[in-house]
């Protein structure tokens, strides 16, 4: 990628994602080399990153309107908030100062915290609500460290008796107001798979082609949410976003692969009004959007915008909703829903189309049980914009509002910007060790994906890594 194109891309990504790992961005997009030297590859990559920052980012007007900062790992920890400060902070700075530094472009309302081992997460997350389960998990730290010599480079682990089920059960019960997700690259955008690679434009075609190609697999399923869940299970792009109620599972997916890229551990606040069940009418409405063509969804999106404008200038809510349901695009959506849900009330509240929701699905397969799986069902979007960073902005915004925000004292609030978010990253150099520690606690590929092919591949990797 040419430097000029890379600058435009990074401007777009930082406005959309809030943080960008510059080192990983340069590798991922194969930014052209502006450095001429005879250094070894690792040194050359470092020089290349610093050259890119100094010559193209620091003087960029769009990135220097007091909204963004550039920080290394060490600076990120040094500037962490008082809430993050603990007895470990000094030692974490010392540890991070001894590894190759990566650099981040960060929006100023975002605070980054670095996870360099599993116990940092367990001991420091949500410190105001620590409970016995957290202490119990942390108690195993010394035992695992003692046994590290029994963990080979292939992670062949001796049997260590840890009552993981008891620990996880109590841990989850006390942390039930949160959901989690892991990205193996911090530069990965928080969107469902249907919003990637232009798949969203062809959402209905993908949906119906899967149904027509494999009708026997869906013959006993009627609700759209159950159809999407099955499609998601087998890798079809859908409007569902996988999440988990187990933080260790979320951490696993942040470190499971791509060891050259930093990972991200994402925490979502669970609000009871945003949680729906499999039989929710709201969920059925959102999932039925998968059957509507691009033009139908764009028309529906315009109808929703029109509804909002009318609501701002009138107090006749019932009449406005009634008129909304007379629109052609709404009638088509209602017709689709009533084909599968006969007792569905023939009226749609347009506000339900603009929100995303958590859904606690049936625990009807072993994988979703082991992964403590759940989903975010995402909102209506417009696919009319040709700009990637605008096309699914409404969807991304509806997911972003669930991101974890830490509670601060009144004094601490004064130093924080509005909409202050916490983002957790895992430097690439720590991924392998965190995977090993998670495996000791029973969280590994073999456990999370209980099919014979995955188990076979996992065992092979232990011996032929």
pLDDT-above-70 percentage for the chain: 76
**Would 71 be classed as within a structural domain?**
no
Give CA separation, 238 vs 27, 217, 290, in Å.
28, 17, 8
When comparing pLDDT for 145 and 195, which is higher?
195
If one counts the domains in the chain, the total is 1
Say if 348 falls within a structural domain. no
Mean pLDDT taken over the chain: 82
Shortest CA distance to 444 belongs to which of 181, 264, 256? 256
Using pLDDT thresholds of 50, 70 and 90, give the confidence band for residue 173. low
Whose tokens are 């060790």? That residue is: 433
Q: Which residues contact 180 (CB under 8 A, 6 or more apart)?
A: 243, 244, 245, 246, 247, 249, 250, 251, 265, 266, 267, 268
Specify the range with the lowest mean pLDDT, choosing from 124-138, 251-265, 451-465. Answer: 124-138
Is 15 among the domain residues? no
pLDDT of residue 325: 94
44 belongs to a structural domain: no
Whether 347 has a pLDDT exceeding 70, the answer reads yes
List pLDDT tens digits, range 97-123: 788 899 999 998 899 999 988 877 776
Written as six digits, the tokens of 110 are: 């975002």
Other C-beta atoms within 10 Å of 316: how many? 11
pLDDT tens across 281-290, in order?
A: 999 999 999 9
Report residue 360's pLDDT band, with 50, 70 and 90 as the boundaries: confident
Find the domain containing 175 and state its range.
109-278+358-464
Tell me: the pLDDT tens digits for 33-68?
766 555 566 666 778 898 899 988 988 887 776 689
The total number of residues shown for the chain amounts to 465
pLDDT tens per residue across span 391-406: 788 899 999 999 988 7
Q: Residue 113, SS3?
A: strand
Is 254 part of any domain?
A: yes
In a domain, 54, yes or no: no
Q: Is the pLDDT of residue 408 over 90?
A: no
pLDDT at 367 over 90: no
Specify whether the CB–CB gap between 374 and 245 falls below 8 A.
yes
* Residue 203 belongs to some domain of the structure: yes
Residue range 2-25: average pLDDT? 92
Q: How far apart (Å, rounded) are the C-alpha atoms in residues 70 and 442?
A: 37
CA-nearest of 243, 260, 261, 254 to 435 is 254
pLDDT of residue 154: 44
Which pTM was predicted? Answer: 0.82
What pLDDT band is residue 315 in, cutting at 50, 70 and 90?
Answer: confident
Find out whether 250 and 244 touch, Cβ atoms under 8 Å.
Answer: yes
Is 351 domain-assigned?
no
Query: What DSSP assignment string belongs to 312-330?
Result: HH-S-HHHHHHHHTTSHHH
pLDDT for 316-343, tens place per residue? 888 999 999 999 999 999 999 988 887 7
């Amino acid at each position: 990628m040419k430097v000029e194109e890379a600058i435009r891309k990074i401007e777009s990504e930082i406005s959309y994602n809030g943080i960008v790992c510059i080192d990983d961005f340069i590798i991922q997009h194969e930014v052209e080399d502006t450095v001429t030297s005879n250094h070894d590859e690792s040194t050359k990559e470092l020089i290349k990153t610093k050259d890119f920052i100094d010559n193209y980012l620091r003087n960029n007007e769009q990135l220097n309107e007091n909204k963004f900062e550039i920080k290394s790992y060490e600076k990120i920890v040094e500037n962490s908030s008082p809430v993050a400060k603990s007895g470990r902070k000094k030692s974490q700075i010392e540890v991070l100062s001894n590894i190759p530094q990566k650099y981040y472009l960060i929006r100023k309302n975002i605070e980054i915290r670095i996870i360099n081992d599993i116990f940092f997460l367990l001991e420091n997350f949500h410190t105001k609500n620590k409970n016995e389960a957290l202490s119990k998990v942390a108690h195993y730290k010394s035992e695992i460290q003692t046994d590290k010599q029994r963990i080979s480079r292939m992670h062949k682990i001796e049997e260590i008796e840890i009552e993981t089920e008891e620990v996880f059960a109590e841990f989850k019960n006390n942390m039930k107001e949160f959901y989690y997700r892991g990205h193996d690259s911090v530069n990965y955008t928080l969107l469902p798979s249907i919003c990637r690679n232009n798949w969203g434009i062809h959402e209905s075609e993908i949906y119906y082609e899967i149904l027509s190609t494999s009708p026997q697999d869906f013959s006993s399923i009627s609700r759209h949410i159950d159809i999407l869940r099955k499609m998601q299970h087998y890798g079809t792009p859908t409007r569902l976003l996988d999440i988990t109620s187990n933080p260790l599972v979320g951490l696993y997916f942040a470190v499971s692969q791509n060891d050259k890229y930093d990972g991200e551990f994402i925490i979502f606040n669970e609000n009871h009004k945003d949680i729906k069940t499999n039989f929710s009418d709201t969920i059925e409405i959102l999932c039925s959007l998968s059957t509507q063509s691009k033009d139908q969804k764009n028309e529906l999106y315009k109808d929703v915008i029109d509804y909002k404008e009318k609501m701002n200038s009138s107090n006749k809510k019932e009449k406005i909703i009634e008129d909304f349901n007379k629109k052609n695009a709404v009638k088509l959506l209602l017709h689709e829903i009533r084909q599968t849900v006969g007792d569905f009330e023939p009226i749609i509240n347009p506000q339900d189309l603009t929100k995303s929701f958590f859904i606690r699905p049936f625990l009807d397969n072993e994988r979703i049980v082991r992964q403590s799986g759940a989903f975010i069902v995402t909102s209506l979007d417009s696919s009319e914009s040709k700009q990637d960073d605008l096309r699914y902005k409404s969807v991304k915004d509806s997911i972003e509002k669930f991101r974890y925000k830490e509670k601060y004292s009144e004094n601490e609030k004064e130093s924080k910007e509005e909409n202050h978010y916490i983002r957790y990253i895992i430097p690439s150099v720590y991924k392998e060790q965190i995977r090993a520690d998670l495996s000791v606690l029973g969280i590994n590929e073999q456990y999370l994906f209980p099919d014979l092919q995955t188990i076979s591949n996992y065992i092979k990797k232990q011996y032929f890594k």
